[in-house]
Structure 1
Amino acid sequence: MITAALVTGASSGIGAEFARQLAARGHNLVLVARSVDRLETLAKELDGVHVEVIGQDLAEPDAAARVERELEARGIQVDLLVNNAGFGTTGRFEEIPAERERDELMVNVVALVGLTHAVVPGMVERGSGGVINVGSTAGFNIAPYFATYGSSKTFVLNFSLALWSELRGRGVKVLAVTPGPVETAFFDVIGTRKAAIGGRMATPRAVVEAALRGLERDRGYVVPGAANFPMAHLMPRRPRKLLARIGRLVTRSVLT
């Protein structure tokens, strides 16, 4: 039986950085993404640890079950799950293809929950383990023109904190890391760098360091970067309909 950390969306950006930092800490790894070639290239960089690659599109309805079957077939026990895979959409809701929104929810929410459900029971039984879910500061607020993306990240935050509370004292730690804009291919996929909404770009390295530190300290959630403090801790205290109106003023720049 091989014990390893599983990282989704590991082919680039934050996921690849998680792989590098975990390998440097001596973790064996399971890397999951659609692009097997990119995963295998990354695996060659990670010296001194065992690395397994699983090619899987997490938008598929049975994605989590397929990954779970692969883990069982390869004799791998997951002691740390990093649900990093995700993407965003932006624009007027009625103009975004329904299929794209569906895939977004499958990756950002359904696969995340499915993989968590696949590994947490074993962690609870063993009395040890950890889960890191990559959210966003968008999850703290109402985000017009990011309606599906922002709502998916609200789910990630609330789901993570609920599990954090449930599992306290049972040896399993859960953390949501909620960065603002990060210098990754996210903005290439979403189609505009205006989606950063004027925020200062963080580096994947800084986000991963904050996440691993937060998990060690059992923080429940962390918001990397002092500039993101108001978004996470001040704005959510205002009336929700007012937040929706303010959010529209802030985010409408993506339409131009």
Structure 2
Amino acid sequence: MDLKQKTYLLVTGASRGIGREFAQQLSQRIEALGSVVVLLGRSQPLLEETKGTILKQNPELSVHTYALDLATARSEDFARILKYSQVSSADFQRAIVIHNAGTVGDTSKRAREIGDTEYLQEYYHTNVFSAIALNCEFMRTFAGIPKLVVNLSTLAAIAPISSMAHYCTVKAAREMYFRVLATEEPAPDTLVLNYAPGMIDTQMTEQVQREAHDPAVVAMFREQRESKTMLTTAQTTQRFLQVLAAQRFQSGDHVDYRDPVEP
């Protein structure tokens, strides 16, 4: 994580929430002239807000924004973005991709009630297929230079949570893909981290609290929100940066916000 080197940083879901905070905090630490930050999200106006904040903090950066619907995004879309936002991988000494974008799905249904394959195809495309396609193009584009690949994971990727069958299944599939990637692509050329950011006060947790069919899940989210024990995006981003700085994890590991940074 030597951000003094000429860096290419790409963050998905950068228009709000954790993605915006990650993009802003990492951009502050990029020092080398010629570095590039790429922001992907659904809302162009919100992406421009993120870009504006980044440029106030680090006006020397080149920041690109691309509005993209991950429900229909194809490999060709990601290849085009990577091509337009940089000249060649030889121009950079390090490349970082933060796979943050994701949706919680329909929490009003029990697992036994999930059977709409059209909905599932769109949901999996948004949360799994698009991340895999982007990662494929990222790895191809930046072959030969050190790469950091971060998947925003969750406790739901490794533990079942009532009301969240959609979310648990896509997060488990996505994390396993990145664990296989880490197995196949040796560190230090490729370093993979599955980071679980904890329970954050965001629109996603508001949706779960509002729509989940399980009263116990609703109560848990409500209690944490009302007691203000939910994490902020700034808190989990700070822990993420500490995890990267300490680098006590093995490539492909699942690291939770609550895990100690030091051994």
Give TM-score scaled by structure 1 length: 0.77
Query: Equivalents in 1 of 2:126, 2:155: separation in Å?
Result: 18
The SS at the match of 2:144 is helix
Gaps of 5+ in 2: 1-5, 212-216
Letter in 2 for 1:70: I
Q: Aligned residue for 1:55?
A: 67
Distance 1:55 1:118 in 2: 18
State the 1:137 CA deviation: 0.5
Q: How many residue pairs are counted as aligned between the two chains?
A: 224
TM-score, length-scaled by structure 2: 0.75
Deviation at 1:161, TM superposition (A): 2.1
Letter in 2 for 1:207: T
2-side partners of 1:209 and 1:165: how far apart?
27
Query: Residue deviations 1:153-177, cap 9 Å, x none?
Result: 1122222222223223351111011
Equivalent residue, structure 1, for 2:147: 129
Question: What percent of counterpart residues are identical?
Answer: 25
CA contact (8 A) 1:210 1:224 kept: yes
Of 6, 9, 12, the match for 2:16: 12
What is the distance in 2 between the residues matched to 1:45 and 1:51? 11
Structure 1: segments with no counterpart, 5+ residues: 228-256
Looking at structure 2, the residues matched to 8 and 113 of structure 1 have their Cα atoms a distance apart, in angstroms, of 13
Which position in structure 1 is the counterpart of 2:242? 213
Do 1:104 and 1:149's aligned partners in 2 also have CA atoms closer than 8 Å? no
Displacement over 6 Å in runs of 4+:
none
The correspondence for 1:139, drawn from 154, 157, 161, is 157
What's the C-alpha RMSD, in Å, of the aligned pairs?
Answer: 2.7
Which letter does structure 1 place at the counterpart of 2:171? K
Letter in 2 for 1:9: G
Alignment-derived partner of residue 91 in structure 1: 108
The 1:28/1:72 distance shift into structure 2, 3 A limit, reads closer
Would you say the 8 A contact 2:198–2:236 is kept in 1?
no
In the alignment, the residues of structure 1 paired with residue 244 and residue 142 of structure 2 have an alpha-carbon distance, to the nearest angstrom, of 15
Superposed counterparts of 1:1-256, under 5 Å: 3-26=7-30, 28-47=36-55, 48=59, 49-62=61-74, 64-75=75-86, 77=89, 79-89=95-105, 90-92=107-109, 93=111, 94=113, 99-126=118-145, 128-190=146-208, 192=210, 194=217, 197-198=220-221, 200-216=229-245, 217=247, 219=249, 220-225=253-258
